[in-house]
Amino acid sequence: NAEYMGLNRLHNQAKMESAPVRLVHSVLNSDAALQGGDECYVLGTALSIDERILAVSSSNHVIKLYDPNTLGLFGQLTGHTNTIQDVVFSRNPEQPHLLFSCSDDSTLHIWDATQGSLVRRINVQGEEILSCSVNCNGTLLAAGTHKGVIRLWDLRTGKQLTAFQDSHSDEVTQVRFHPSIPNLFVSGGEDMLLILFDLTQNGEDECILSTMNCEHPVSRVTFFGPQHDHVAIVSTASPTLSLWNIDSAERVSHFTDVRVSPLSAAALAANGQDNGGVPGVPVDYLIDAHYEPFSQRLFVSAGTFGGDVGLLHVNQHYVQMSNQLVGGHSSIVRSCIAASDSSSFITGGEDSKISLWSTAPPSATNLLQAFGPR
């Protein structure tokens, strides 16, 4: 239920003090530091599970490797020949350095980000690969393609296990494994469906546990809740957000446009709630969602065309501006990721900039040690 998810916490926390997020440092996502190349805008970012490596996919088909504490560029990975659609790190603590990328060039690459080397290249002829994900113990790799196909590989043998070709009728834009259950994953696509699979079963139909009609294209999927039994579905352009219980396949909340308050102040008051004086949020598009395990709260990042980012706290009935990241970008922001304790954020955008943000005051010691082991 909503209380279990923490979605009703806003009623009691609407007036809570939020530590302001300030810009610490920005760098241009440029090859200049390595070989005198041109600037290139950011497509996506990924942070290793130990928070030691930041991977940035760039518009020139290269993945840049940065120190997330200083934004110092220390390497780059070349091999893709078309747009890189997704970059994800292994979530297995024993393999924090393994990075996975997929591209419109019909390949998946597995990299050793510490060594800056290619471990394995997987070729899928004739299919643009739009998303990839690795399960929590690092044994399975899933990928979604523009032809509506989901492919799965056993990373221990390198062999493809199966391909689900009938579940989706359009592009599969997101595949994401469950954070703690290695055999469960979800897929979402342009057909507006979110599908939950259990890979302990045999056959495509048998693996489907539930199918959810989101009523909007699926751009990003984020698991949340103490047991990760809910998902937030973001449609970046709309900007639309829906929240689902994957155990019951029931939609908990649906925001057709986060720029418009889904309930009027009078309606909220009638339900004993207070919207904090915020009728809507001044944003143009959604970026992604992230979940704070320690506070059990869900946040969505949203942006303006001018480059500002808002961190929106999600309640069951409305969203509320929690914090703002202002001055780090001058154009559309493609990515926003948070440190595990949400004390720091990294954003990347079409202005070729990567920005580091922190809630720590300027006088704090170890100012740039926002990420990494604690």
pLDDT tens profile 212-247: 999 999 999 999 999 999 999 999 878 899 999 999
* pTM of the predicted protein model: 0.88
Nearest in space to 347 (alpha carbons), one of 73, 102, 23: 23
Helix (H, G, I), strand (E, B), or coil: what is residue 240?
A: strand
Contacts of residue 218, defined as CB under 8 A and 6 or more positions apart, other chains included, come to 173, 174, 188, 189, 190, 192, 193, 194, 233, 234, 235
Helix (H, G, I), strand (E, B), or coil: what is residue 34?
A: helix
Distance between CA 150 and CA 40 in Å, rounded? 30
Helix (H, G, I), strand (E, B), or coil: what is residue 256?
A: coil
Give Cα 86 distance to the centre of its chain: 10
- Which residue do the tokens 């994957």 mark? 246
Range with the largest mean pLDDT of 164-173, 250-259, 279-288: 164-173
Which band of pLDDT confidence, cut at 50, 70 and 90, is reported for residue 5? low
Is residue 109 within 8 Å of 91, Cβ to Cβ? Answer: no
**Half-sphere CA count of 363, side-chain side, radius 13 A:** 0
Is residue 253 within 8 Å of 316, Cβ to Cβ? Answer: yes
The amino acid that residue 42 corresponds to is V
- 139-163, pLDDT tens digit by residue? 999 999 999 999 999 999 999 999 9
The predicted pLDDT at position 34 comes to 43
Distance between CA 323 and CA 317 in Å, rounded? 19
- 8-59, pLDDT tens digit by residue? 553 344 434 467 899 999 999 865 444 445 568 899 999 999 999 999 999 9
Which band of pLDDT confidence, cut at 50, 70 and 90, is reported for residue 369? low
Distance between CA 185 and CA 190 in Å, rounded? 18
C-alpha dist (Å) from residue 67 to 70, 152, 200, 332, 372: 6, 31, 38, 23, 10
Distance between CA 110 and CA 117 in Å, rounded? 9
Token pair for 328: 């780090």
Token pair for 181: 């259950």
- 259-296, pLDDT tens digit by residue? 764 443 444 444 444 433 344 457 899 999 999 988 89
Residue 177 has pLDDT above 80, yes or no: yes
Long-range contacts of 181-184 (CB under 8 A, 24+ apart): 181/136, 182/135, 182/136, 182/137, 182/139, 182/140, 183/135, 184/209
pLDDT: is 5 or 211 the higher one? 211
pLDDT > 70 fraction of the chain, expressed in percent and rounded? 83
User: Mean per-residue pLDDT for 75-94?
Assistant: 96
Distance between CA 336 and CA 121 in Å, rounded? 28
Beta-carbon count within 10 A of 83 CB: 14
User: Mean per-residue pLDDT for 93-114?
Assistant: 97
C-alpha dist (Å) from residue 332 to 109, 228, 255: 27, 30, 22
pLDDT > 90 fraction of the chain, expressed in percent and rounded? 72
Say which range, 26-40, 111-125, 146-160, 300-314, has the weakest mean pLDDT.
26-40
* Average pLDDT of the chain to the nearest whole number: 86
The predicted pLDDT at position 371 comes to 59
